[in-house]
Amino acid sequence: MSVNPMAYEAQFFGFTPQTCMLRVYIAFQDYLFEMMLVVESVILKKLDGFPDCKISPFQIRKSTEKFLLFMKEHFDKLFSKMEEVLLQLVLNIPKNVLLPEDKVHEEYPYSKEQFQALQDEIHQLQQQYRAEASAGQALRAELEEQKAVRAELEKILQWFDGLDNICREHGTGNFKESFAFLTQNSKKLQDVLKDIEEKSKKIKKHDQLV
Amino acid sequence: GGDGGSPVPAAPGRAQVFTTVVDTFLEKLVAAGSYQRFANCYRCFYKLQPEMTRSIYDQFISQLQASIKEEIQEVKDEGNLEVLFNSLDKIVEEAKDQEEPAWRPSGIPEEDVRSAMVPYLLKHRSYLRKVLKEKEEENRKVAESVLAGRDRIAELQQLIEARKHAWQ
């Protein structure tokens, strides 16, 4: 006969049903014995009040044992029946019953592979997130750089605008043109000078040869 | 028709059965240890003092019953059994349509803890999915700004070149 450890019941009740029954059995039995001893001592005491009676303590002891033996037999039988009923109907959890605290096992019966797949997926998501986070940092860094560069360029533009304003204020609207004309002229002059220099070099050479 | 209230359980609850079973036990025990039996065992004393015998017997039986009842009450109190019995009755009632045997601990903690962790992992996964999506969206917007910024800078550079030429 296999012994049912009733571990699931122990999970629910906080004690093993069989242990509970054993405790109760021992307690009841102790009371029975205790009561019998009290009965015996009371009778013996009463007998002291009858000094000429022929009843010996030994006889009383025999009586007690007889009654106790009888009681114990019935006690054991009755307790056995009670225990059976309690273990089957009261202190048990039917096979089809799942305790609420174990609901996850019914809701998420993941196999080892499924569980591993879930963990892998999470790991991958974490890596992806980290990658996105650093990409975001790089983008923001460039944004900051752009701000600085733009500020510099705008400063230059403003300087040019400032120049235009000065020309306008001083009524030399053609300043730009005359400046440009000047620059061009000086360039032209430089070219002409170069020309002349070359030509004079040629003439000097020609003179020498002749 | 019905009163529309919660259904009355067909069978008595565990607490009721428990009480009934214990009471029956006591009843039968007392019946077995009858006064006749007691007096028969202590015949000599009975012959001497019949009333005293009766009185001693009565006290014995009542004391025995009291002790047993007290012990049962202690067990019920210590184990909080009333509450547990009612709770178990409810759980069993709710599972009454389940025909298949339910899950039981396998005895291997590594196996059993997996299912317990799954809901947390699922929550974690959906959280990660959410923040990843948010981050991707955020980055998309920043990337747009970056591209626009590059265009603007190119534009400024062109304007500056134009100005330079104008002063040439």
Query: Where exactly are the structural domains of chain B?
Result: 14-95, 133-167
| Number of CB atoms found within 10 A of residue A60's CB | 19
**A198 phi/psi in degrees, rounded to 5:** -65, -45
The answer on pLDDT for A176 being more than 80 is no
Mean pLDDT, residues A32-37: 95
How many percent of chain A have pLDDT more than 90? 61
For testing the chain B interface, which of A98, A120, A126 should be mutated: the one with the most B CBs within 10 Å? Answer: A98
How close B6 comes to chain A (CA, Å)?
A: 21
d(CA A29, CA A25): 6
pLDDT value of residue A163: 82
Question: Which among B91, B122, B168 has CB closest to A97?
Answer: B91
- Higher per-residue pLDDT: B101 or A200: B101
pLDDT value of residue B1: 44
Mean pLDDT, residues A21-42: 95
Contacts of A16 (CB under 8 A, 6+ apart): A5, A6, A7, A9, A10
Mean pLDDT, residues A169-192: 73
Mean pLDDT, residues B28-43: 95
Mean pLDDT, residues A5-26: 94
What's the mean per-residue pLDDT of chain A?
89
B168 Cβ under 8 Å from any chain A Cβ: yes
Contacts of B150 (CB under 8 A, 6+ apart): A146
Look at A30-34, A143-147, A172-176 and tell me which has the smallest mean pLDDT: A172-176
pLDDT value of residue A1: 47
Are B49 and A60 contacting, i.e. CB atoms less than 8 angstroms apart? no
| ipTM reported for the complex, 2 dp | 0.71
The tens digit of pLDDT for each residue in B79-121 reads: 999 999 999 999 999 998 988 999 999 888 888 888 889 999 9
The answer on pLDDT for B9 being more than 60 is no
Q: A174 pLDDT band (50/70/90 cuts)?
A: low
| Number of CB atoms found within 10 A of residue B60's CB | 19
A67 Cβ under 8 Å from any chain B Cβ: yes
The tens digit of pLDDT for each residue in A49-101 reads: 888 888 899 999 999 999 999 999 999 999 999 999 999 999 999 999 999 99
The answer on pLDDT for A172 being more than 90 is no
Mean pLDDT, residues B150-165: 91
CA-based nearest residue to B67, from A150, A26, A56 = A26
**What are the tokens at B27?**
């009843």
How close B136 comes to chain A (CA, Å)?
A: 7
Three-state SS sequence of A97-163: CCCHHHHHHHHCCCCHHHHHHHHHHHHHHHHHHHHHHHHHHHHHHHHHHHHHHHHHHHHHHHHHHHH
The tens digit of pLDDT for each residue in A36-48 reads: 999 999 999 999 8
Are B168 and A183 contacting, i.e. CB atoms less than 8 angstroms apart? yes
**Interchain CB distance below 8 Å, A46 and B49:** yes
pLDDT value of residue A15: 94
B90 Cβ under 8 Å from any chain A Cβ: no
The answer on pLDDT for A5 being more than 90 is no
Q: A171 pLDDT band (50/70/90 cuts)?
A: low
Q: A138 pLDDT band (50/70/90 cuts)?
A: very high
Question: What is the DSSP code string of chain B?
Answer: ----SPPPPSSPPHHHHHHHHHHHHHHHHHHHT-HHHHHHHTHHHHHH-HHHHHHHHHHHHHHHHHHHHHHHHHHHHHHTHHHHHHHHHHHHHHTTT--SPPP---S-HHHHHHHHHHHHHHHHHHHHHHHHHHHHHHHHHHHHHHHHHHHHHHHHHHHHHHHHHHT-
